Structure 1
Amino acid sequence: MRNVSINLLDHTPRPVVAIGTDYSHGQLLPFHTHRRAQLLYGATGVMQVRTHDGNWVVPPQRAVWIPPGVAHEVLMLGVSTRSVYIEPGTVDLGTRCQVISVSPLMRHLLMEAVEVPLAYELEGRDGVLIGLLLHELARSAPLPLHIPLPSDGKLLALCQNFLRQPNAHQSPQHWAEQLHISLRTFNRLFRQQTGLSFSQWRQQACVVLALARLAAGEAVTRIALDFGYESPAAFSTMFRRMLGQAPSVWLEAAN
């Protein structure tokens, strides 16, 4: 199925409903929920997903898992999507969103899934195809493309300020002083609230924010300097350590 709302097909008596949709550049899908879980795959372009728990950037040819009932908004940047909406309990990838890698096999299965009839034969070829897709999904690997946000109001404000103006050298001591707590208390609070150490969160935030800017066509040098890195090489080293590829490789995939 193509360019159809899941709301019209949600009660189809099949475990999976697959829909392909083309979006205009910059189109925003405001906060909404689905009864089914959603695997949202971008064949082209970049998606920015936001929930009340954090932010995710989904590069080209990756996908984001959105559990059932999770409110989310999505900014589409030149994206053609393939979505599979999955009955709750069919596949369990957790109760929080996550960006996942997409194997070459899964990619072909996703592209093919949108072509199968809505009421596909469960025991036929199309049912086997959907079943294999679910197996591939269950074994997919998560990617560190999430910026978790704390629930503590004062700490949340600091995190949001950082996301507006990232600085790779901002210290935990500086944040602790703004919160009027000791460094030890700050480090404990930060990990409790985000699941990451401050340095891990800062680095992960820089990578995720950089991906969005790379997708918009910005130069690596400009991004590196804006984020406080001494040189593009230093930024590229950090980026490669986090994602296994240089920024230029990701930039080529986005174009």
Structure 2
Amino acid sequence: MKFAVFLSGSLLLFLLSDWTESVDTVDIKTLARIINFFEQNYKRVDENGNPHQYAVAINVPKHQCQQNFKPTNFLTKENATKVRNAINNETNGLYIGRELIAAGRKKVAQRSYYKHSEYLLLNPVNKSPMTRLLNYRKKDSCSVFYTFYSPCVKSCLNATSNNNILGALRRWNRHGGIKAFVFKNIYVQDLDKDLQTEFLKIAAQVPLYRCPVENQCYACYGEQNDTIDARCLPQPSFLA
């Protein structure tokens, strides 16, 4: 009987330690500093300084997403000018580095639409730049995906669209370490959509955050089909 109790206790200890590892989350202040770093180094702007959609993802050592880390010596293998030049070239719109990938948008030849930055980084699911990035560092890592505008409801979050990112999020869910899906602004065409429901599709797979202004981020929650935090949703004034 003692032997059985010992086994049960050991199993419980193992399960608890495994669960603890799986729920590690990014330090919210560190996340804000990382997003500021992205905005300062890779942000897409036109000749008048107007911002445009872009997305960035990193897979870095775990400690770089934990408390007190400051990105003063960060992503040193990635040249910021090369990143910006690559994502502003709409014939490709993509940069693939060792610890960082980034995308602007890509014009579809002989058509009147563009592939979105989220799609360019996350698809095709098993051969995407994001899959390659995650495979580079599988243990003790932190992966952060940042998009300037929230993923659009019409295609990115639409399971019936060929351009959705939902399968990629499910695959990312299986990756170990700290994870964070972050957006800054709500896509303007989605301000009147049911984003409470739509954002749950992201939060069900990876922790969702919003970093709307410099040095400020919020956890959106919703991991267990809970309510998305109101700070991650359109404010009533937008819908008036």
- TM score, norm. by length of structure 1: 0.25
- TM score, norm. by length of structure 2: 0.26
